[in-house]
């Protein structure tokens, strides 16, 4: 039976798409963003065992070469995440679609739908298609929060059951995009156009970095001219909280000034993104 690594499930969220939603975070990502706030979701655990001795309550052990996490014993101190040198977490559960449905069953009467996120949930497209098919049968909507690496146009089965994609466009200049996230920008921009063309672009998001006037402007202008008023454009302030110390040295220790970020909301609206807003 198909399984995917689930990092956590938040039963009720009002920041992962419209209405009240259950958010499901998958483990693993195609990007390696310098400003990632959840770096422990980037890769799947390789069972190196380094974190085991650091757990203060012995909630981690190794069995048959794999890490076993005792969720009952865990006190959520996050020590294992901080000491993992591989941008991973031992607190991940490989779940079937049925397992996920069982976990979200109690929330179902109270939510508008689900949002899958990560990491990058599109590493598991056939799992998503199966999960969405089951959730839609219950009259709920299914959204994907994506980094844009996956070729959505190549997967009509997934698009048939996906109500929309919330897409990150972190940069548009190719070399800066690669430096920032270790991945090419072309697939992201192809997805931007494709999702617009099929009416499934739910939202675009861009993080505004401090002291990066040219890069911020290029990205905001490009996206705004592309999307116009067809979907919301979320302008996000960079915040160093959660970013790994080695990357804070590159990205800066200060969060983006709200007045500075607001100037990019105004730029976005001036360039056509009438639904631009800041968080």
Stretch that binds ligand SF4, among 44-52, 120-128, 142-150, 212-220 (CB under 6 A): 44-52
Residue closer to ligand SF4 by CB (options 47, 93) is: 47
- 88: Cα within 13 Å, side-chain hemisphere: 17
Among 12, 14, 78, 254, binds ligand SF4 (CB under 6 A): 78
For ligand SF4, which stretch binds (CB under 6 A), given 19-27, 73-81, 220-228, 232-240?
73-81
Cα gap 45→215, rounded to integer Å:
34
Say how far apart CA 249 and CA 243 lie, in whole Å: 10
Does position 7 interact with ligand SF4 (CB under 6 A)? The reply is no
Instruction: List alpha helices for the chain, DSSP H.
Output: 79-83, 97-104, 125-136, 156-161, 174-181, 186-197, 213-227, 245-251, 258-270
Give the one residue of 6, 33, 42, 45 binding ligand SF4; rule: CB under 6 A.
45
Q: Which stretch in 43-51, 216-224, 230-238, 262-270 sits in contact with ligand SF4 by CB under 6 A?
A: 43-51
- Site membership for ligand SF4, residue 89 (CB under 6 A): yes
**DSSP secondary structure, 170-206, as one string:** ---SHHHHHHHHSS-SHHHHHHHHHHHHTT-EEEEEE
**Among 53, 76, 137, 175, which residue sits at the site for ligand SF4 (rule: CB under 6 A)?**
76
Dump the DSSP string for 112-133: SEEEEESS-GGGSHHHHHHHHH
Determine which residue in the list 13, 79, 96, 274 makes contact with ligand SF4, applying CB under 6 A. Answer: 79
Residue ranges binding ligand SF4 (CB under 6 A): 45-51, 54-55, 57, 59-60, 67, 69, 74-80, 84, 86, 88-91
């Amino acid at each position: 039976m198909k399984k995917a690594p689930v990092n956590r499930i938040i039963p009720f969220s009002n920041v992962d798409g419209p209405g009240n939603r259950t958010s499901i975070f998958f483990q693993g990502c195609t990007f390696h963003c310098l400003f990632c706030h959840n770096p422990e979701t980037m890769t799947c655990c390789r069972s190196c065992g380094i974190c085991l001795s650091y757990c203060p309550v012995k909630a981690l052990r190794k069995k048959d070469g794999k890490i076993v996490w005792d969720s009952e014993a865990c006190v959520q101190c996050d020590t294992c995440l901080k000491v993992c040198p591989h941008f991973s977490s031992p607190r991940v559960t490989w779940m079937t679609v049925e397992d996920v449905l069982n976990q979200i069953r109690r929330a179902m009467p109270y939510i508008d739908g689900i949002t899958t996120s990560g990491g990058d949930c599109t590493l598991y497209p056939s799992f998503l298609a199966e999960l969405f098919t089951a959730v839609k049968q219950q009259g709920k909507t299914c959204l994907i929060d994506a980094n844009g690496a996956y070729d959505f146009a190549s997967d009509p089965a997934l698009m048939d059951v996906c109500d929309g994609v919330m897409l990150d466009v972190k940069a548009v200049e190719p070399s800066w995009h690669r430096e920032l996230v270790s991945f090419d920008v072309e697939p992201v921009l192809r997805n931007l156009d494709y999702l617009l063309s099929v009416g499934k672009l739910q939202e675009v998001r861009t993080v505004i970095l401090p002291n990066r006037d040219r890069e911020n402007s290029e990205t905001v202008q490009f996206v705004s001219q592309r999307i116009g008023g067809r979907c919301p454009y979320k302008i996000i302030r960079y915040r160093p909280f959660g970013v790994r110390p080695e990357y804070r040295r590159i990205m800066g220790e200060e969060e983006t000034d709200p007045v500075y970020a607001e100037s990019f909301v105004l730029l976005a609206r001036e360039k056509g993104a009438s639904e631009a807003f800041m968080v």
